Amino acid sequence: MKAREKLVAIIPARGGSKRIKNKNIINFLGRPIISYTIDLLKKTGIFEKIHVSTDSKKICNIVEKNNLEIDFLRPKRLANDKVGVYYVLKYVVEKYKSMNINFKAAALVYPCSPLLRKKDILNSYKLLKKNKYQYPILSISEFSSAPERSLSLEKNNFIKVDNVKKFRARTQDLKKKYFDTGNLVFVPCNKIKQIVKNQNNKPCHKFMPYLLEKKRAIDIDTYEDLRFAEMLYKIDNKI
């Protein structure tokens, strides 16, 4: 019988947040929001390790209440909002390697992802295996409106059309565009250094897509996003 490939799930959850204070542990329908991600990853049953990468003792305490041990803290140099998440990924995988624990692939699953489902983790992993661990998988979703038809406001508060030619085009004539949902990335560990190297010039270069339904692709950055996500969760779970 073939041995199972070792996988690690990493939840990047630093302590600081600007738009929503303590966003990674904010109350979401009676529970810290990060606990939904922890429970989801446990339910998949595919991870050798589930690691919350944090510099915060407060977050550590909440994680431990979810019966998950944190093997090591994130260093302060990697705990500010200017540090790319793939540097954090690289640190965690290399730290485990120094502990003689090696992984075939790592899943980055963000703490504010209560609308993700078990099938999203498992199907993205299937896609990773299907392409023989050659390319990382990134969760994306289609823009609701064509970004080419964007508007902005001038200093005098009048509306400005950013691209007149595109604005006049019919929506069906415009190419579909997608955005990074900020929920899930599955990365072969032997590709991490190259991804970090590409971040400045070729972010998402040669990533394969995992398409999320729009209702699961809510990026929680504001309190309005938070309330909307709670409403969707209630509908989906018939609460």
> 173-223: per-residue pLDDT in tens?
888 999 999 999 999 999 999 999 887 777 777 899 999 998 899 889 999
118: in domain = yes
What pLDDT sits at residue 115?
A: 96
φ, ψ for residue 183, nearest 5 deg: -115, -45
CA atoms within 13 A on the CB side of 50: 22
Amino acid at 139: S
- For the chain, strand residue ranges (E) read 7-12, 27-28, 31-32, 49-53, 105-109, 137-142, 151-153, 159-161, 178-188, 208-211
| Residue 146 placed within a domain | no
pLDDT at 1 over 50: no
Total number of domains in the chain: 1
> 67: phi > 0 → left, psi -120 to 50 → alpha, else beta; which?
left
- Beta-bridge partners for 210: 139
The pLDDT, as a whole number, for residue 72 is: 95
152-184 pLDDT, tens per residue?
Answer: 999 888 999 998 888 888 888 888 999 999 999
Q: What is the dihedral of CA 34, 39, 44, 45, to 10 degrees?
A: 120
173 lies in some domain: no
Is position 162 within any domain? no
- Residue 123: band (very low, low, confident or very high) from pLDDT cuts 50, 70, 90: very high
Q: Please report the pLDDT score of residue 201 as a whole number.
A: 75
Judge contact between 128 and 209, C-beta under 8 A. Answer: no
Q: Which two tokens stand for residue 20?
A: 């929503």
CATH, residue 17: 3.90.550.10
- Residue 139 to residue 131: CA distance in whole angstroms: 16
Average pLDDT over residues 134-146: 93
Residue 143 has pLDDT above 70, yes or no: yes
pLDDT in tens, 44-87: 999 999 999 999 999 999 999 999 999 999 999 998 888 889 99
| Rg of the chain on CA atoms, in Å | 19
For residue 198, tell me if it sits in a domain: yes
Percent of the chain, pLDDT > 90?
71
196, 189 in Cβ contact below 8 A? no
Q: What's residue 3's pLDDT?
A: 53
Strand partners, 169: none
Q: Which domain holds residue 70?
A: 7-141+179-237
pLDDT digits (tens, 9 = 90+) for 3-34: 567 999 999 998 877 778 899 999 999 999 99
Burial of 92 (0-12, 13-18, 19+ CB in 10 A): buried
For residue 97, is it within any domain? yes
Please report the pLDDT score of residue 144 as a whole number.
85
Q: Which of 3, 198, 190 is nearest to 97 (CA)?
A: 190
- pLDDT at 2 exceeding the cut of 60: no
168 within domain boundaries: no
Identity at 82, one-letter amino acid code: K
Q: Which residues contact 177 (CB under 8 A, 6 or more apart)?
A: 142, 143, 146, 147, 148
Kindly state whether residue 157 falls inside one of the protein's structural domains. no
Burial of 21 (0-12, 13-18, 19+ CB in 10 A): exposed
pTM exceeding the 0.85 threshold for the entire prediction: yes
Residue 169, number of CB atoms within 10 A of its CB: 13
